[in-house]
Amino acid sequence: MSVAADHPLWERFQSDLRSVDSLGSLSEVRDKYLSRQRGLLTLELKELGRLPREERPAAGQRLNQLRQRVESALGERLERLQSDERSRKIQRETVDVTMPGHHWPLGTLHPLRRLQEEMEGIFLRMGFEVVTGPEIETDYYNFEALNIPRGHPARDDQDTFYLNDSLLLRTHTSPVQIRTLEKRQPPVRMISPGRVFRRDAVDATHSPMFHQMEALAVDEGIGMGHLKGTLEAFFRQLFGEGTHVRFRPSFFPFVEPGAEADVSCIFCSGSGCRICKGTGWIEVLGAGMVHPEILKRVGCDPDRWTGFAFGIGIDRIALLRYQVDDLRLFFENDIRFLRQF
Ligand code: PHE
């Protein structure tokens, strides 16, 4: 046993050291024994001077040894505390890659929105730009400017939600034709998707709110052939190469001539089935050549510029595209239905 080991301070120190459990309590113990002013060991060393001269060397050596042991014990303890802390930290920060992850349910686009974006994509690639217009319209843009004056029978076809004498919920996206041509000189190629409103009773194919996509192309030398070609290119990308488009003469006050367009039934490829009611064709849009009066009204010379326009019922297309037989499914937002898309 070394000379220091039987010093009473050594035992006291060891027992203090055993109760150390943190860096804080360790430095308390260090101070208790080694602080320059009141450390117990420091005091003992100061006392040395009072001993008889011949006892001093042995006592001094003993105390110095004790101090070295105390210091190295403190040092070891410090190292252990630090390495414990390190391993606790590593433990805390460890990522267990085998733990099951949190499941965050991912939302998806509403099928109508997805279809709309798909349709936009096709037209964008054909050089059309997307513009939008207000859902609350004036009587002027929704009707007057489109050659549907008050009292015109075409107003009755579109049972309108009026907000007051001059404001209404737009019944179609055609007002965006006027708004665009007022702002822009031809050549113009635009599409305009959005919500439209009519006072229809709800059933499998009617809703008071539905979606249309308007298209307008005005340039020099535009004719019905461009209209037909654009629609065929569009529907072939949407429904497949074998899709055909046919026109039936029809009337809209803002086009001349006007037409309704059918696509060959995508369910039976034209041979006739329940969906197309045996005709092989499904009606999907109204179209025509922009009426010269409309061009004049927005300051375009109809002798120089001609254009085509059409308005597609997006919801109609959705029924076909997703093979759903009831429009209400798209608006009720039952998650079990929507999740399938
Ligand atoms: N706006 C017409 C409707 O809602 C559709 C249409 C658009 C017809 C453009 C011709 C040209 O019924």
Residue 4 has pLDDT above 80, yes or no: no
Encode pLDDT of 222-237 as tens digits: 999 999 999 999 999 9
Please, which residues bridge with residue 245 across strands? 263
Q: What's the pLDDT score for residue 182?
A: 97
Q: What's the pLDDT score for residue 287?
A: 98
Higher pLDDT, 230 or 94: 230
Q: What's the pLDDT score for residue 95?
A: 86
pLDDT band at 2 (very low <50, low <70, confident <90, very high): low
| Other beta carbons within 10 Å of 102 | 5
Is ligand 1 within 6 A of the CB of residue 169?
A: no
Q: What's the pLDDT score for residue 1?
A: 46
Encode pLDDT of 172-196 as tens digits: 999 999 999 999 999 999 999 999 9
Q: What's the pLDDT score for residue 134?
A: 98
Is ligand 1 within 6 A of the CB of residue 198?
A: no
Q: Which atom of ligand 1 is nearest to the CA of 212?
A: 4
Average pLDDT of the residues in 229-254: 95
Q: Which atom of ligand 1 is nearest to the CA of 259?
A: 10
Residue 148 has pLDDT above 50, yes or no: yes
Is ligand 1 within 6 A of the CB of residue 174?
A: yes
Encode pLDDT of 11-46 as tens digits: 999 999 999 999 999 999 999 999 999 999 999 888
pLDDT band at 268 (very low <50, low <70, confident <90, very high): confident
Q: Which mutation among 143, 174, 196 tests ligand 1's pocket best, with the greatest number of atoms within 8 A of CB?
A: 174
Q: What's the pLDDT score for residue 79?
A: 95
Residue 125 has pLDDT above 50, yes or no: yes
Residue 121 has pLDDT above 50, yes or no: yes
pLDDT above 90: percentage of residues in the chain? 71
Ligand 1 centroid – CA 310 distance (Å) = 6
Q: Which atom of ligand 1 is nearest to the CA of 313?
A: 4
> How many angstroms separate the CA atoms of 50 and 70, rounded?
23
pLDDT band at 274 (very low <50, low <70, confident <90, very high): confident
Residue 311 has pLDDT above 60, yes or no: yes
Determine the angle formed by the axes of helices 56-93 and 23-34, rounding to 10 degrees. 170
Is ligand 1 within 6 A of the CB of residue 288?
A: yes
Question: pTM score, two decimals?
Answer: 0.70
CA-based nearest residue to 308, from 291, 326, 332: 291
Is ligand 1 within 6 A of the CB of residue 175?
A: no
**Mean pLDDT over each residue of the chain, to the nearest integer:** 92
Look at residue 328 and give its three-state secondary structure. helix
Average pLDDT of the residues in 143-167: 88
Is ligand 1 within 6 A of the CB of residue 197?
A: no
Is ligand 1 within 6 A of the CB of residue 300?
A: no
Torsion of CA 220, 223, 227, 233, to 10 degrees: -80
Beginning with the edge strand found earlier in the chain, give each strand of the sheet holding 245-250 in spatial order.
129-130, 188-197, 209-220, 305-313, 281-290, 255-264, 245-250
